[in-house]
Amino acid sequence: MEESARLSRNRSRRLALLHNQKRYSGEKPMRFVTLVAYLSLIICLAGILYRLVRWCALPVGPESEDVGIIPRLLAAITALTATLVLPRRLFALMRTVLLEVIVQRRILRQSRVRWAVHMMIFYGMLLLIVMHTFDDQITAHWFSGYASTLNPFMFLRNLLGIMVLVGVIAALWRRRSIRTPRRTTAFSDLFLPALLAGIVLTGAALEAVQIISPTLFDQMVSDYMRSEDPEEIAPLKAFWSERFEVAFTPPPTHDPLVMRQGRRLHAEYCAACHSRPVSAVLAFPLVLAIKPLSEHIAGLDLTTWLWYVHYLISCLALALLPFSKLFHLFAAPVSLIARALGPAATDSPANRPTRRAMSLDACTHCGVCNRHCAVAPIFQVIANPRILPSEKLGGVADLAAGRKDACAHILLAEGSCICTACGRCTRFCPSGIDLQDLWAASTADLNRQGYAEPHGWIGRHTASEWAQILKTHPHSNPGKSSLQRPDIRLADNPDTFWACIQCSTCTNVCPVVAASEDPQRDLELTPQQIMNLMRLQLKETALGSRMVWNCVTCYKCQEHCPQNVRVADVLYELRNEAFRRLCQCRRRTEEDDSGRQLTSPSRRSIDA
Ligand code: SF4
Ligand code: SF4
Ligand code: SF4
Ligand code: SF4
């Protein structure tokens, strides 16, 4: 009977403790805390709604010219209803959710390490949210004996935190070790891991300062032992000082008799809600690190400050969810499901722009497409990031959003022109984005907006006209481009050409020269003549020649050159240089048109 009464007493204390846990983090102005939480939730929900509406509004592809937002919304609802009603589509949906969303089979097939990293971050964070953030609403209801300071909950929470941290560190390490062009890094690629790591680390630090805090110990003793008598509390203090790492000042003596009394008091009042802090595998090393400093940090009220930081970072993550890369948590599963139901081209015309807009949000910027892209190595020579599919996607998003940046759209046009539509990016994209369809749609959009493929507008002037423009235009400076990679500045280095003996082999093997009936008329200069001009430091003349634009980069000239001159690389670099200057001219001219008056040369001379 006595034992059962004790257990019942402990249980009611445990429940009371559960409801009072947050109080032991220090007194918080609850109105402010609740307001921040609700505000974050409202921003999050409003943001999600905005993104969903945007899916039906963003014009991506030629079909969007003919269908408005309402028909697109209806088409999306029809497709969704058909998926839920038709057994075949429903089966495909369930299969995709299981294999592609829950198991992440696409990533597993590509790399086990990447899959493990992804799973650690995703499931670690998801379980932390379920088990820890919503402990009152979920965990306490599922487990009647739940207390956050009790095992296995305390151990599991710390283990999940370690999973997220290890995943974040591994993801950053991989991003650093796999370099451009295979993977590029944007601010958002670093911000999201930093945010997740910040949440976990502040949580661990908070737990560590709570463990060593004598103030929290006093509060708990006062609430549950209901004693203010120092002599009665002293054995419990000694026991908690030794076994629970509470940093009392001065430290109590650990006399064996006192410790036995402390153990008895602990079993009576505390054991039902507290496991030893060594089980907090993430926070415990921090406990050992800060315990010697406890005297110095005692007055800082760190439990309160860290609680605020942890809480506010978590609210920030919630509010940013629809406006950051985190949104792929919604968009990527939708994209995978849509892909499983068929390619975008087989969808109704009214639904295609919506699918494409949704795909733009599903990209995680993982760079897998770059690794498989047939033309990614060209980025090493033409430093146009829009050649890489992961970056081209950003250009497509800018174009669809109506961003006014002519130079960016010209770069996108060049990237689209270089793409061979091999479909490898689509096949390997872990988010299931139909990239090939996006490229076709964006190319049509570019053409419609006047950003034809580069040779379309370059061909409007003869080589000598371009050479003249390049020489005389005030905005065409031959300075170093931010996109130009320093290791491929061949054209300005005399060592590149000094060995050329003008043997004409490069010209004789060139298929472009061979295909021309009159090379002087069609190409103006042959590869050998260009090499000669470069030797004579007449780069500006060589820059504008048609040969530079007509070279198909077959590398025959370079392979056959008896002197190992990098003929094809030089031609590529010249084209890149000319293109960069033309973009610069065009952009500045547009800026001038909107404000100042351009004097020389006339706008017409460089207008595409
Ligand atoms: S398009 Fe796909 S593969 Fe490429 S970066 Fe985005 S999610 Fe990764
Ligand atoms: S379709 Fe274009 S972007 Fe995609 S892998 Fe092939 S060449 Fe690269
Ligand atoms: S670049 Fe090579 S192949 Fe061409 S003319 Fe010079 S030495 Fe001959
Ligand atoms: S790389 Fe260009 S210049 Fe050289 S052989 Fe091929 S087409 Fe001719």
- CATH code of the domain containing 467: 1.10.1060
Q: Are 272 and 149 spatial neighbours (Cβ–Cβ below 8 Å)?
A: no
CA distances from 526 to 1, 334, 495, 530 (A): 104, 53, 21, 6
Tokens of 606: 């460089």
Residue 500 in domain: yes
Residue 573 in domain: yes
Alpha helices in 21-68 (DSSP H): 30-55
Rounded to the nearest angstrom, the distance between the alpha carbon of 366 and the centre of ligand 1 is 5
- Pocket test of ligand 1: the residue of 188, 361, 363, 391 to mutate, having most ligand atoms within 8 Å of its CB, is 363
Domain stop point among 425, 452, 479: 452
> Does residue 532's CB lie within 6 angstroms of at least one atom of ligand 3?
no
Question: Based on the structure, what is the number of domains in the chain?
Answer: 2
Give the chain's radius of gyration (CA, Å). 33
Angle at CA 358, nearest 5°, toward 80 and 399? 145
**Do 374 and 484 fall within a single domain?**
no
Q: Are 242 and 291 spatial neighbours (Cβ–Cβ below 8 Å)?
A: no
- Return the residue whose CA atom lies nearest to atom 3 of ligand 2: 389
**Do 494 and 600 fall within a single domain?**
yes
CA distances from 295 to 139, 141, 562 (A): 36, 39, 77
Q: How many helices (H) and strands (E) does the chain have?
A: 32, 0
Alpha helices in 129-250 (DSSP H): 140-142, 153-177, 187-212, 214-220, 230-243
Instruction: Give residue 183's pLDDT.
Output: 64
**Do 590 and 477 fall within a single domain?**
yes
Instruction: Give residue 273's pLDDT.
Output: 85
Q: What is the mean pLDDT for each group of 10 consecutive residues in the chain (608 residues)? A: 45 43 50 85 94 90 85 87 82 86 86 90 91 84 84 91 94 76 72 91 92 86 77 86 85 82 87 86 90 79 87 91 86 86 80 91 89 79 81 91 78 83 88 91 86 58 57 48 48 81 91 89 90 85 83 88 90 83 67 44 35
Rounded Cα–Cα distance for residues 245 and 222 (Å): 19
Nearest to 257 by CA among 243, 241, 271, 239: 239
**Do 432 and 494 fall within a single domain?**
no
**Do 525 and 578 fall within a single domain?**
yes
Tokens of 389: 């599919």
Rounded to the nearest angstrom, the distance between the alpha carbon of 105 and the centre of ligand 1 is 15
Instruction: Give residue 353's pLDDT.
Output: 92
Residue 448 in domain: yes
Residue 56 in domain: no
Q: Are 279 and 1 spatial neighbours (Cβ–Cβ below 8 Å)?
A: no
Q: Strand, helix or coil at 344?
A: helix
Ligand 3: atom nearest CA of 567 is: 1
Residue 308 in domain: no
Residue 593 in domain: yes
Question: Residue 400's domain spans which residues?
Answer: 327-452
- Return the residue whose CA atom lies nearest to atom 5 of ligand 1: 365
Q: Are 144 and 188 spatial neighbours (Cβ–Cβ below 8 Å)?
A: no
Q: Which residue type is seen at 110?
A: Q
The C-alpha torsion from 55 through 453 and 543 to 520, rounded to 10°, is 170
Tokens of 163: 């999973």
- Pocket test of ligand 3: the residue of 496, 498, 504 to mutate, having most ligand atoms within 8 Å of its CB, is 504
**Do 488 and 546 fall within a single domain?**
yes
546-599 residue pLDDT tens: 888 888 888 889 989 998 899 998 998 888 887 777 777 666 665 555 544 333
Rounded to the nearest angstrom, the distance between the alpha carbon of 567 and the centre of ligand 3 is 8
- Return the residue whose CA atom lies nearest to atom 6 of ligand 1: 363
Residue 421 DSSP one-character state: -
Q: Cα 203 to the chain's mean position, in Å?
A: 23
129-182 residue pLDDT tens: 988 888 888 888 888 878 888 888 999 999 999 999 999 999 888 877 766 556
Question: Residue 495: is it exposed, middle or buried by C-beta count within 10 angstroms (0-12/13-18/19+)?
Answer: exposed
**Do 439 and 357 fall within a single domain?**
yes
> Does residue 393's CB lie within 6 angstroms of at least one atom of ligand 1?
yes
Q: Which residue type is seen at 339?
A: R
**Do 469 and 560 fall within a single domain?**
yes
Residue 32 in domain: no
Residue 411 in domain: yes
Domain stop point among 401, 423, 452: 452
Rounded Cα–Cα distance for residues 493 and 168 (Å): 43
**Do 426 and 496 fall within a single domain?**
no
**Which residues form ligand 2's pocket by a CB distance below 6 Å?**
372-375, 389, 419-425, 435-436
Instruction: Give residue 49's pLDDT.
Output: 94
**Do 493 and 432 fall within a single domain?**
no
**Do 471 and 558 fall within a single domain?**
yes
Q: Which ligand is nearest to the CA of 389?
A: 2
**Do 535 and 447 fall within a single domain?**
no
Instruction: Give residue 124's pLDDT.
Output: 92
Tokens of 132: 């820890």
Ligand 1: atom nearest CA of 435 is: 1
Domain stop point among 408, 430, 452: 452
Q: ipTM higher than 0.85?
A: no
